[in-house]
């Protein structure tokens, strides 16, 4: 574990050091890959607009939080849900101000054309169905998947069908295009990442206990606080929000609530011990 941590530290220093030597200090961002496509486009547009480079480190929100703790690097933290922002707050790693960038809606993802005729959560009980989720111990969308299964008393029926718990949203979104599973319990927004390969089956509104949002906060040890604030503000601007709209994300809380009127937005969920 120590060698792995030192290797990660060396890699991060190698990535950031050349940019730090230039005339403009970059904004170093640790982000959950739930927002990877729009963040990559927004980072490039922000650099073109302001001249300030944005270095994105993407992965599971828990893994990114661990990297922040281990390395002491980073200017901005953008996890895939408020669960991990709360962990960062408890660790006193972030400043008080928090930006809400976009909302995330739990959904069922299937191959394009829905060849197995999946219509809802009840179909996840089918014997032999291959189901994928992200690791709930370190990835936001995996935590929400477990919360949905537990809330709807489906865990013992669906768990035998699980075929892997991957370590990031990006990997969860790729499981169907790679034919690793038949179904992914993930974010509605995944379908926009590869629309020719997969589609969304909505979860009944009453079966969704909680919706997520993507928060952003400046890290207390930020070396480029003005740049971090500027990039977070850019993500909240009309131009920044347009990138999220393009990739199918909702940025209006009222619209998000319409998909699950009784669901909470935000808050935290404690993973049951047997997961």
3-state secondary structure (DSSP) of residue 145 = helix
180 lies in a domain?
yes
> Domain boundary at 191, 210, 229, which?
210
One domain for residues 94 and 217: yes
274 lies in a domain?
no
| pLDDT value, residue 23 | 54
One domain for residues 187 and 111: yes
pLDDT tens readout for residues 126-142: 999 999 999 999 999 99
- The DSSP line for 228-272 is HHHHHHHHHSHHHHHHHHHTT-B--HHHHHHHSTTSEES---PPP
How many structural domains is the chain composed of?
2
Could you tell me the CA-to-CA distances from 73 to 9, 26, 115, 189 in Å, in that order?
Answer: 9, 12, 46, 29
| pLDDT value, residue 105 | 96
Provide mean pLDDT across the span 72-78. 97
pLDDT tens readout for residues 119-175: 999 999 999 999 999 999 999 999 999 999 999 999 999 999 999 899 999 999 999
One domain for residues 78 and 45: yes
- Indicate the helix (H) or strand (E) that contains 1: none
One domain for residues 157 and 64: no
Residue 38 has pLDDT above 80, yes or no: yes
Provide mean pLDDT across the span 200-223. 96
One domain for residues 259 and 243: yes
Q: Please, is 5 exposed, middle or buried when counting C-beta atoms within 10 Å of its C-beta (0-12, 13-18, 19+)?
A: middle
One domain for residues 160 and 148: yes
135 lies in a domain?
yes
Residue 233 has pLDDT above 60, yes or no: yes
Query: Token digits for 3?
Result: 């060698």
Could you tell me the residue range of the domain that residue 166 belongs to?
104-210
Closest CA to 208 of 261, 156, 255, 248: 261
Range in 20-29, 198-207, 254-263 with the lowest mean pLDDT: 20-29
One domain for residues 55 and 138: no
163 lies in a domain?
yes
CATH number of the domain that residue 24 is part of: 3.40.190.10
272 lies in a domain?
no
One domain for residues 124 and 50: no
Residue 185 has pLDDT above 70, yes or no: yes
One domain for residues 135 and 202: yes
One domain for residues 52 and 120: no
83 lies in a domain?
yes
């Amino acid at each position: 574990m120590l060698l792995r941590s030192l290797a990660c530290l060396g890699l991060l220093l190698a990535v950031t050091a050349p940019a730090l030597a230039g005339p403009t200090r970059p904004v170093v961002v640790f982000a959950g890959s739930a927002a990877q496509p729009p963040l990559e486009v927004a980072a490039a547009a922000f650099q073109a607009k302001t001249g300030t480079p944005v270095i994105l480190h993407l992965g599971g929100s828990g893994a990114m939080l661990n990297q922040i703790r281990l390395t002491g690097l980073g200017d901005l933290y953008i996890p895939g849900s408020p669960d991990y922002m709360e962990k960062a707050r408890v660790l006193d790693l972030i400043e008080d101000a928090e930006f809400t960038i976009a909302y995330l809606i739990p959904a069922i993802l299937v191959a394009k054309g829905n060849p197995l005729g999946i219509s809802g959560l009840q179909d996840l009980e089918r014997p032999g169905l291959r189901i994928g989720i992200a690791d709930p111990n370190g990835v936001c969308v995996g935590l929400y998947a477990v919360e949905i299964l537990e809330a709807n008393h489906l865990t013992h029926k669906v768990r035998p069908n699980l075929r892997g718990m991957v370590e990031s949203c990006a990997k969860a979104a790729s499981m169907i295009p790679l034919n690793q599973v038949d179904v992914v319990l993930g974010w509605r927004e995944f379908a926009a990442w590869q629309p020719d390969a997969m589609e969304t089956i909505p979860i009944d509104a009453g079966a969704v206990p909680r919706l997520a949002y993507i928060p952003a906060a400046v890290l207390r040890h930020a070396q480029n606080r003005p740049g971090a604030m500027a990039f977070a503000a850019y993500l909240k601007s009309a131009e920044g929000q347009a990138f999220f709209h393009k990739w199918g994300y909702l940025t209006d809380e009222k619209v998000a609530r319409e998909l699950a009127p009784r669901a909470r937005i935000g808050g935290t969920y404690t993973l049951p011990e047997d997961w």
